[in-house]
Structure 1
């Protein structure tokens, strides 16, 4: 399959597709109030996760908690962020998103979290055909991408209200793989679709509206995971700063109408805002569902 031929899956109302970050979602101008806020992000020390960590640091959050398995990359990220953004405290923990006991311990010890960003992902063996995949490996993919995500959010929701006030946010870093088939992708693609459904259910089951939930396709970004599975010339790669800045915008008040929805970092935010009434009137719009 030629990746250039894959569908774009954008709503008809979205005419503008951004490959680079832009002023409208700049952390320096966004309406997200970063004062006193704490952000916790898994896999936030490298790749897309680091870009998200940096964007929230640019926005001026008080504290960033980064979870990742490798101690070496955690130390490098902490040093770089604290040097560039001295007003933001960076704390790091070595942990896997699928280690439920460890995740519970960390979330409870952190105490106050305003924005939770599950970014860690596991693709497993991406070689076709599906019949040759091992059951144990598929289970491992789901343990990270679905069950680990569920556990993190559940523990996050059990925390008390934060001192900073205002609604909390969960920004699940998903993938457009949740919407498509590609060779070797049965575990990864299906787990991402399941994870999006988990986020939608959390959103629609949260009665008081004090927590907003989003699934975010970060874009086609050249990362270590992409390098392992996609030829570099297969697609036009996008700016790694785009998903980070878009995530800050999602955490702000302009995005609340998108609660429970799946959005792309490349979609223009003003064209999204113009869809507010349509989104409010259709609970299935921008979710994993059959196209109308």
Structure 2
């Protein structure tokens, strides 16, 4: 293991350490029915949030995750909603259902990987669907989340209350910065999301919301297996280590904490040690580290 890297959960990242800070919060996780989304939901439950909203396209998977969470964390309200994040009607229905509250935290986890192929041979509908889900769907959902949050905040301020800033974490991929043959669709739309995250942090006041992109690590998931990367890691062909999805969930929960505010607009990896990030906070801010730059 390289210095400052983790692939398994560790004590300083335990979600329970954030229970007092996240008490009463509402976390919404897209793609929350299985895989990484399920791990993220589990970590938020351990952090003691008041409500977790799971969004996905498969009701049975959502219900399975919700039932497991409810059995282990009876004090938490777990809500499931079946939706396609690329559907304006589905997304509108989700936020219209939140009549008395607004989610505090959005985790953009839903994603799609088109079948790896050389561009000339790719099924273009499948190729473009990666942009539709990863870019269009993520941006549509985030805009709807922020508009709903804005109306809620304005109403609260009129009543003399000022809600804390919202946090939007977008699950990205280190593939955004790698040259990977047969992955031109996925890598390019992930890079678009990273730059979009930076721009939102400039456009939108930090007092209202902050944004961060995160690489989830090489997780043994359906998407990881579809890419072929997991088999390469297991066989030793790829010089990478598998990341425990529990670490992914724990790190993403930490990104929603006040300690991680300085990472607004940046791209980070769950494998990076949080003590290392915190100790380098001043340098990260002053030098614009973990941001997209054109080298000359």
Deviation at 1:177, TM superposition (A): 0.9
- Alignment partner of 1:65 is 2:64: no
In 2: Cα distance, 1:19 partner to 1:72 partner:
30
In 2: Cα distance, 1:166 partner to 1:187 partner:
36
TM-score by length of 2: 0.88
Pick closer, same or farther for the CA change 1:222–1:208 going to 2, 3 Å.
closer
Instruction: Give aligned pairs, total.
Output: 278
In 2: Cα distance, 1:259 partner to 1:19 partner:
23
Greater RCO structure (CA 8 Å; 6+ sep): 1
Q: Is contact 1:45–1:73 with CA below 8 Å preserved after alignment?
A: yes
In 1: Cα distance, 2:91 partner to 2:291 partner:
27
**Larger displacement relative to structure 2 (23-32 or 221-230):** 23-32
2:90 matched to which residue of 1? 102
In 1: Cα distance, 2:255 partner to 2:17 partner:
13
- Alignment partner of 1:50 is 2:38: yes
In 1: Cα distance, 2:222 partner to 2:20 partner:
30
2:78 matched to which residue of 1? 90
Q: Is contact 1:41–1:67 with CA below 8 Å preserved after alignment?
A: yes
CA deviations on 1:157-204 (whole Å, 9 max, x unpaired) are: 112227783121001011111111212111111111111111111111
| SS of aligned partner of 1:96 | coil
In 2: Cα distance, 1:265 partner to 1:217 partner:
6
1:78 matched to which residue of 2? 66
Deviation at 1:277, TM superposition (A): 1.6
Which of 110, 113, 137 is matched with 2:126 structurally?
A: 137
| SS of aligned partner of 1:29 | helix
Deviating beyond 6 angstroms after TM superposition, the runs of 4 or more aligned structure 1 residues are none
Which of 146, 158, 171 is matched with 2:147 structurally?
A: 158
Pick closer, same or farther for the CA change 1:240–1:164 going to 2, 3 Å.
farther
Gap regions ≥5 residues in structure 1: 1-7, 9-13
| SS of aligned partner of 1:92 | strand
1:11 matched to which residue of 2? none
| SS of aligned partner of 1:219 | coil
| SS of aligned partner of 2:212 | strand
Which of 164, 179, 182 is matched with 1:181 structurally?
A: 179
Q: Is contact 1:24–1:30 with CA below 8 Å preserved after alignment?
A: no
TM-score by length of 1: 0.90
The Cα RMSD (Å) is 2.0
Structural mapping, 1:100-249, within 5 Å:
100-110=88-98, 111-127=101-117, 129-159=118-148, 160-161=152-153, 165-230=163-228, 231=231, 232-233=234-235, 234=238, 235-249=240-254
Deviation at 1:99, TM superposition (A): 1.4
